[in-house]
Amino acid sequence: MAKVSKNAILGRKAVGKVEGAKVLFTTKDGVRILKPKAKATHFTEKELDRAIAAAMAAKRS
């Protein structure tokens, strides 16, 4: 029987490293989007998540 990874069972996207760079997430088309090397100048992670969600919601409404 073929081995199935725990991540595959749990439906998680592959993360880890690609050629030494940390992977933030993998898109549906399979591109591994890399983690930025520095932090944002004007945003914390939470502020940015909220700002992006708000901008997208505003576009939908």
Partner 1 sequence: MGTRDVFINCPFSSDYKGFFEAIVYAVVRSGFTPRCALESDDGGEIRFDKICRIIAESRFGVHDISKTEPDPDSGLPRFNMPLELGLFLGARKFGVSPNTLKKTLILDREAHRYQRFISDIAGQDIHSHDGDVGRLIEEIANWLRNQARDQRVPGGRAIAAEFGRFQADLAGIAASQSLERDELTFKDLCVIAPKWIKAAASAA
What is the contact surface with partner 1 in residues (CB under 8 A)? 18-21, 24-25, 27-43, 47-56, 58-59
Q: Minimum distance from CB of 49 to partner 1 (Å)? A: 7
Residues 34, 24: contact at Cβ < 8 Å?
yes
Region at 31 (left for phi over 0; alpha for psi -120 to 50; beta for the rest) = beta
CB of 57 to partner 1, least distance (A): 9
Give the residue with the Cβ less far from partner 1, 1 or 58: 58
Least Cβ distance, residue 5 to partner 1 (angstroms): 19
Give, in order, the Cα–Cα distances in Å from 18 to each of 34, 47, 58.
8, 28, 35
